[in-house]
Structure 1
């Protein structure tokens, strides 16, 4: 039996207007392909679990959405949907999705979701590889919206190095509850307004 998480409803309702129909459609397709799927929120965006592991996930940003398969690197790709992985796709496998027209046909995406289900059923795992360089982490739309309300913090954030920006984004988005996330976001903006990095307390004077 499918598991619906009300936090996913909340995530969709709080996303940008363009993103809502995209996220709702992706959610519907996942449930169509995998009736036993379980919804959850991890890393502050919707994830779909099946057979005890993450199956796929979706997220909304300021100007686009993303959709990715947890085991995408191991999946067959007859329709060449996943070939852009690691280029300009953020954390998704379908590139930057700005409208429903950017999505593949429903029957194709459902087939890919079912291919991912087979891997989960087999207990396949992705081997972690050491990154040669730090990954760029994209800030969620709600993070950027909060920054825009504080011009000083926004300017400071843009001037920070990629690693310092990443530290703030990861710290805020990895909060396990909405209350903690809101508190961290407020603290982050306060520190950025003062020109401080995330780990300023540990910086050498």
Structure 2
């Protein structure tokens, strides 16, 4: 098992997400093998949940997705919090207006 838990480029995984990944050795190994940008997308997707039940479902889905070989969350337009690249036109038009 890894000595340290790897986070994203912008986001830090919450304790609940870390616990779920640490509880599954295979999922944790897959998580650690992701690029920092890929980890960031999963963390941003989980953190974007407005309600605790949705967050819990997204954390469970993250573990399932990793075990299925998926390297990014499905249907996620991407993190709007990154400072190394400007948000896409779609993100500006649809996500940033809401924030």
Category of TM-score, reference length = shorter chain: 0.5 to 0.7
Correspondence 1:22-101 to 2 at 5 A: none
SS of equivalent residue, structure 2 residue 26? helix
**Could you list the runs of 5+ residues in structure 1 that have no partner in the other structure?**
1-133
Higher relative contact order (CA 8 A, sep 6+): 2
- How far off its partner does 1:138 sit? 1.3
Task: Find out whether 1:156 has 2:35 as its counterpart.
Answer: no
Aligned length: 69
Which residue is 2:88 aligned to? none
SS of equivalent residue, structure 2 residue 71? coil
Task: Find out whether 1:139 has 2:3 as its counterpart.
Answer: no
Correspondence 1:115-130 to 2 at 5 A: none
Q: Structure 1 runs of 4+ off > 3 angstroms?
A: 199-202
**1:153, 1:195 within 8 Å by CA — same for their partners in 2?**
no
The two structures, once aligned, show a CA RMSD in angstroms of: 2.2
Distance 1:161 1:135 in 2: 9
**1:153, 1:193 within 8 Å by CA — same for their partners in 2?**
yes
Higher radius of gyration, 1 or 2? 1
Which residue is 1:188 aligned to? 62
Structure with greater proportional strand content: 1
**Could you list the runs of 5+ residues in structure 2 that have no partner in the other structure?**
1-7, 77-99
In the superposition, the TM-score normalised over structure 1's length comes to 0.31
In the superposition, the TM-score normalised over structure 2's length comes to 0.61
